[in-house]
Amino acid sequence: MVSCCDYVLEAGRSCLPLVFFFLVLFCLEVSVFCCIMPYCLQLKSVGDTGVIHVVEKEEDLNWVLADGPHPPYMILLDGNLFNRLVMQQLKGTSRVSGLAVSIAKPNPPQGFSPGLKCPNDGFGVYSKDYGPQYAHCNRTVWNPVGSGLSYEDFDFPIFLLEDANETQVIKQCYQDHNVPTDGSGPEYPLCAMQLFSHMHAVTSTVTCMRRNSIQNTFSINPETVCDPLLDYNVWSTLHPINSSEKVDPKKEFIMVATRIDSHSFFWNIAPGAESAVSSFVTHLAAAEALHKASDVHLLQRNIMFTFFQGETFDYIGSSRMVYDMEKDKFPLRLENIHSFVELNQVALRNGSILWMHTDPVSRLNATVEPQIKNLLDILSNSSVGANVTLQEVGFSQSLPPSSFQRFLRARHIPGVVLTDHQASFQNRYYQSMYDTPENIRMQYPEGLSPEETLEYVTDTAKSLAEVATVVARALYRLAGGANDTSAIQADPKTITQMLYGFLIKMNNSWFQSIIKPDLKGILGDDVPQHYVAVSSPVNTTYLVQYVLANLTGTVVNLTKEECLNPEKTPNAEKEMYDYAWVQGSLDPNSTSRVPYCVRSTVRLSKALSPAFELREWGSTEYSTWTESRWKEIRARIFLVASKELEIITLVVGIAILVFSLVATHFINAKADVLFSIPRDPGAVAY
């Protein structure tokens, strides 16, 4: 499979072209985001070339950095050595021209996170003006294993090799031609690799967006060099609302939120099992359980289920929704939000404990504190009898990185963030390619078919169902429900299907049945990735949208024509509902599907940073991430001759050229003699 590559820039901080790919291997990001060089370097458009050297232990670096007689080198690096210490040794030396990393199997036991120790630092609620003692993770380092590699500047391409067979091909070429003999350099020819990964954008978001603007203004055929990260948030409400009008200021909503995007050092390799998927599948299951409650239509308060995109990149989705609410570009206003419940990382609980995080600064407000206390009490009471114990984190600890922080920047809203960690993350692979199903202990018996695997209820699914049940019951109480909640129960089978679809294989029978026919192309055979990009919506957004519609919507008796054109259908209430004509399941007696129409309250809202709406490309208030444009991403392996042979070949070539020129000149000068036409012996002159 071939993937395109890009690099991301942020305003005010230079960054280097990251991301490259190798043959049929996945391309990946290098030195992504927020570099600190004065200029953003671009890799050579002619490609970076070097002699291959395999590094399987740290001692092997000596050959690359000092002893090897044939620099520059392309390094094939064992995945367990891909860490900050090794990368700092390779950084800044002219003896290294590129890097191919073989993925570590099993996952590095010490953990691996190329993200920051303080994720989204500077864009949350804590600052010198609001809880300065909590700013920059002063009290709690949330991601202690974070190396920050994704935010470093490397002036050479870095590739990820996921396929062991491809790694073996490179190793075999190395062993055949490049292995040192008794400490001395190998004989020519040597095995070399060339990487092509030229990026168009330079320096920072401010520069590349300014160049875009100039191109669009003065060029007949403008060439864009970078694009803002863009996608869509997914949201719905328990009771339908008119999406084209403003909600009555007196109406109260409980907002339930989670993020649906993830990230890693390598482009489009972002499984996000613990960092994103565990929370949003729990959120989806809670929404389903609540919709099934018999008296849900009697609840005094409405509930809004929200799934934010782009949160990894300084809260793109949540900051945009807050902005739209403030500018009256969204049906709800901030004043409509009664309370806020966010699901964060929840799959790696210690025993039965789930932690409730609140904001210690807003709790000093005499009006807000009782509301937060009531929220915590309802959550705690909802866990009675369940295999989940909710405990409150100490009053002196700040909120973890969360979308809720963006809402707190705008208004004091009572809220809680639910996590599996009391302080630092339990997740040792935060924002990395190792945040896989294995990281959240998803295990299946051997020998199951894909369909059997889809239906097999794992222990992870059961655990998340318990969390979803508690959340659904708490939301019922918060919305004013007074009846017994024992019937509100999340379905482990639904969760196991979602985990399989979002983490293992999205092209499965369930996902096929719930999406529109014209969207079936998004169900590739690859493992789903949850990286927000510039081409939107990405498949994760679509899938969350249609899973939510399937779990909370209603099948209505409409024809395809009526479903696709609800404005022409009496009593359709298009402003209140969204209608989708989905593929349906396969007919048991044929190969065709049985499509149907789903009516739901699910909507999309733009997840584009307000900085680009305001043309404030250097903003420190809003996210300013952009992605570079590129044309050619490719690589090749070949044998390279010695310099002496290359010089001899060049000299011989020049000699042949000179000889050819001399011969051509001589032949041209004597053309009348060499090419004269002989006289016809039969011709007689009189």
Domain span at 76 = 8-112+147-227+631-640
Measure the CA–CA gap between 376 and 390, rounded to whole angstroms.
9
Residue 36 lies in a domain: yes
Query: pLDDT band for position 16 (50/70/90)?
Result: very low
Using CB atoms within 10 A of its CB, is residue 400 exposed (0-12), middle (13-18) or buried (19+)?
A: buried
Taking every pair of C-alpha atoms in the chain, what is the biggest distance, in angstroms? Answer: 132
Taking phi first (over 0 means left), then psi (-120 to 50 degrees means alpha), and beta for anything else, what does residue 409 get? Answer: alpha
Contact 282, 504 (CB under 8 A): no
Residue 45: pLDDT band with limits 50, 70, 90: low
**pLDDT surpassing 50 at residue 37:** no
In this predicted model, what pLDDT tens digit does every residue of 185-200 receive, in sequence order?
A: 898 999 999 888 777 8
Under 8 Å between Cβ of 318 and 256? no
Same domain, yes or no, for 213 and 238? Answer: no
- For the chain, percent of residues with pLDDT exceeding 90: 75
pLDDT in tens, 558-581: 999 999 999 888 888 999 999 999
Q: Is residue 106 part of a domain?
A: yes
Q: Is residue 139 in some structural domain?
A: no
Report the b/e string of 359-393 with b at 16+ CB within 10 A.
bbbbbeeeebeebbeebbebbbebbeeeebebebb
Q: Would 600 be classed as within a structural domain?
A: no
Radius of gyration of the CA atoms of the chain, in A:
30
Check if the beta carbon of residue 236 is closer than 8 Å to that of residue 304: yes
Confidence of residue 681 (pLDDT cuts 50, 70, 90): low
User: Which pLDDT band holds residue 251 (cuts at 50, 70, 90)?
Assistant: very high
What's the CA gap between 15 and 206, in Å, rounded?
A: 12
* pTM, two decimal places: 0.89
Do 60 and 189 lie in one domain? The reply is yes
Is the Cα torsion angle 560, 522, 315, 208 positive or negative in sign?
A: negative
**618: CB partners within 8 A, 6+ apart:** 11, 12, 205, 206, 624
Q: Same domain for 162 and 33?
A: yes
Distances (CA, A) of 395 to 141, 369, 398, 445: 17, 11, 8, 44
Same domain for 203 and 243? Answer: no
Q: Do 455 and 399 lie in a common domain? A: yes
194: three-class secondary structure by DSSP? strand
- Convert the pLDDT of each residue in 71-122 to its tens digit: 999 999 999 999 999 999 999 899 999 999 999 999 999 999 999 999 999 9
**Statement to judge: residues 247 and 177 lie in one domain:** no
Whether residue 209 is contained in a domain is answered as: yes
Q: Write phi, then psi, for 637 (nearest 5 degrees).
A: -115, 140
| Alpha carbons 474 and 394: distance in angstroms, whole number | 21
Question: What is the number of structural domains in the chain?
Answer: 2
Selection from 642, 632, 638, 610 nearest residue 623 by Cα: 610
Are 78 and 195 found together in one domain?
yes
> Are both 205 and 345 inside the same structural domain?
no
In the numeric block, the tokens 């230079």 are attached to 14
Please give the Cα distance from 614 to 369 (Å, whole number): 35
- Verify that 416 and 438 share a domain, yes or no: yes
What's the pLDDT score for residue 44?
54
Asked, for residue 401, whether it belongs to a domain, the answer is: yes
Give residue-wise pLDDT tens across range 442-497. 999 999 999 999 999 999 999 999 999 999 999 999 999 999 999 999 999 999 99
15 and 71 within one domain: yes
Q: Are 404 and 340 in contact (CB under 8 A)?
A: yes
**Secondary structure (3-state) at 25:** coil
Q: What backbone phi and psi angles, to 5 degrees, belong to 184?
A: -105, 160
Q: Is residue 513 domain-resident?
A: no
Tokens representing 63 are: 């050959």
Q: What is the pLDDT of residue 46?
A: 58
Task: HSE, CB side, 13 Å, CA atoms: give it for residue 641.
Answer: 8
Same domain, 309 and 175: no
Is the confidence at residue 548, as pLDDT, over 80? yes
Specify which of 198-202, 354-358, 585-589 reaches the highest per-range mean pLDDT: 354-358
Q: What is the CATH number of the domain that holds 357?
A: 3.40.630.10
Cα–Cα distance for residue pair 408/403, rounded to 1 Å: 9
In this structure, the answer to whether residues 259 and 207 fall within a common structural domain is no
| Residue 438 belongs to a domain | yes
